[in-house]
Chain A
Amino acid sequence: MCPTMTTAPDAFPTDDTALTQDGLAPSGKGRVLLIACGALAREILDIKATNGWDHLDLTCLPAILHNHPEKITDAVRAAVAKHRAAYDQICVAYADCGTGGLLEQACAEMGVEMLGGAHCYAFFDGVTRFAERDEVTAFYLTDFLARQFDAFVWKPLGLDRHPALRDMYFGNYQTLVYLAQTDDAALTAKAQDCADRLGLKFERRMTGYGDLQASVADWAAR
């Protein structure tokens, strides 16, 4: 198991803004394709590079779909249909992600596997452990979401234009829990700043890649 990113993020041909808006095209090499959320690109590419899984290819849908879960299922369906003929196997690196079971149903229909849990917070923390915590008043960030906080939280909620709305959105939350995939002091400071801006207590929880590591390994072994 590799709990933390072992390759410097800058080494990957990924740009957060591009991952947010456009996703990532597949390299076209390999026989197993992972269709993932753009928010997982760096982590999956690191797992792949660390283990030398060259037969594994990755394509990502725009991470901003996180804010529009009603669009995820159709986007995944379209991606599976588009790439199916070019690979022996396709796996979907999404959890339920707010689709209300529709993605699970679609994946079952298409005969492709997906990740377990309600969302990436759950599988980074560990699906079982996350459920046991029962943290009703926690607002979560991952490495990606901490880096892209403005694009995913601050601006879409209009807080850049109307900061007075903050407590209408976050008044019932108590803590911002930063689920850290990497040990990065600058990113931790950024996550702490996000908590301050939202008026929440801050907690950092080092998760590494959690259940994502095992799922990718399982898919790579096919």
Chain B
Amino acid sequence: MSDEEDDIILSELDDEELVQQMFDDLYDGLKEEIEEGVNILLERGWTPYDILTKALVGGMTIVGHDFRDGILFVPEVLLAANAMKGGMAILKPLLAETGAPRMGKMVIGTVKGDIHDIGKNLVSMMMEGAGFEIVDLGINNPVEDYIDAIKREEADILGMSALLTTTMPYMKVVIDTMVEQGIRDDYIVLVGGAPLNEEFGKAIGADAYCRDAAVAVETAKEFVARKHNQMSAG
């Protein structure tokens, strides 16, 4: 950051400039600045939902695009996510109070044998930002944990993540169990992780493979809308 940028006083910017500055601060992974920006917008009467979608998700979408295009790399994305997390921590209790729109509920976790949760955490955060309720099972989940959680939580979506080629086949174990129990079609199943691809997703019977967090959000929205349409038609 240049000296000139260091001198920016967030509270002196108008709303449009402030949101633009928050995009830059998210891009640079500046957590404290994001927290300050969120608080300023709240003081100015912005709804938590608008701050989340217009400032935070808007900024992270740019980060996501630049990651996809090879301009940003994992460390920078993690810093940006950490900054967004700071803003989300302020907004989350307020979102619950103000009744922000709910898109659906997703149970998510990394599969048995896999402890790599960076991708899963990014997806969770972006899904929350898009209005989904997230039930995060954490890491290293056996099939029973997934099945129990989707039933208990009456989830719309099951999300499974794996980083290792040795653990990704476990996703099929979970889906096969859902088929055996006759509940496969009750849920949207999304899978993701570095070694996966679309072909793998199809082969194991998932509804979709999601290349990154932004794709996961768009895919989830699409499938949920389709599900609602089917229910209305039925």
Q: Is the CB of B115 within 8 A of A168?
A: no
CA distance A169 to B79 in the complex (A): 12
Q: Of B59-67, B68-76, B209-217, which stretch is located at the interface? A: B68-76
CA distance A172 to B116 in the complex (A): 7
CA distance A16 to B165 in the complex (A): 27
B78 surroundings in chain A (CB, below 8 A): 158, 162, 165, 168
Is A81 positioned at the interface, with any CB of B under 8 Å from its CB? no
In this complex, what residue of B is CB-closest to A118?
B166
A69 surroundings in chain B (CB, below 8 A): 195
Is B223 positioned at the interface, with any CB of A under 8 Å from its CB? no
Classify chain A: how many residues form its interface, as a range: 20 to 34
Closest-CB distance, A95 to chain B (whole angstroms): 10
Q: Which of B29, B114, B118, B165 is within 8 Å of A118, CB to CB?
A: B165
Chain B, interface SS category: loop
Q: Flag B127-168 by CB within 8 Å of A: 1 or 0 each.
A: 000000000000110000000000000000000000011101
A137 surroundings in chain B (CB, below 8 A): 115
Is A99 positioned at the interface, with any CB of B under 8 Å from its CB? yes
Q: Is the CB of A172 within 8 A of B166?
A: no
Closest-CB distance, B206 to chain A (whole angstroms): 15
CA distance A45 to B106 in the complex (A): 52
Q: Is the CB of A100 within 8 A of B75?
A: no
Chain A, interface SS category: loop
In this complex, what residue of B is CB-closest to A159?
B75
Is B82 positioned at the interface, with any CB of A under 8 Å from its CB? yes
Q: Is the CB of B79 within 8 A of A165?
A: yes
Is A173 positioned at the interface, with any CB of B under 8 Å from its CB? yes
Q: Flag A157-193 by CB within 8 Å of B: 1 or 0 each.
A: 1110110010011001100000000000000000000
Q: Is the CB of A158 within 8 A of B74?
A: yes
Closest-CB distance, A87 to chain B (whole angstroms): 29
Q: Flag A86-97 by CB within 8 Å of B: 1 or 0 each.
A: 000000000010
Closest-CB distance, B66 to chain A (whole angstroms): 15
Q: Is the CB of B75 within 8 A of A162?
A: yes
Is A136 positioned at the interface, with any CB of B under 8 Å from its CB? yes
Q: Is the CB of A157 within 8 A of B166?
A: no
Is B117 positioned at the interface, with any CB of A under 8 Å from its CB? yes
Closest-CB distance, A42 to chain B (whole angstroms): 26
Given A96-B165, A99-B165, A136-B140, is A157 in contact with B75 using a C-beta cutoff of 8 Å?
yes
Q: Which of B82, B139, B200 is within 8 Å of A172, CB to CB?
A: B139
Q: Is the CB of A134 within 8 A of B113?
A: yes
- Residues of B whose CB lies within 8 Å of any CB of A are 29, 73-76, 78-79, 82, 113-118, 139-140, 164-166, 168, 194-197, 200
Other than A98-B165, A101-B165, A136-B114, give 12 A-B pairs with Cβ distance below 8 A. A98-B194, A100-B195, A134-B113, A136-B113, A158-B73, A158-B76, A161-B75, A162-B29, A162-B78, A162-B79, A165-B75, A165-B78
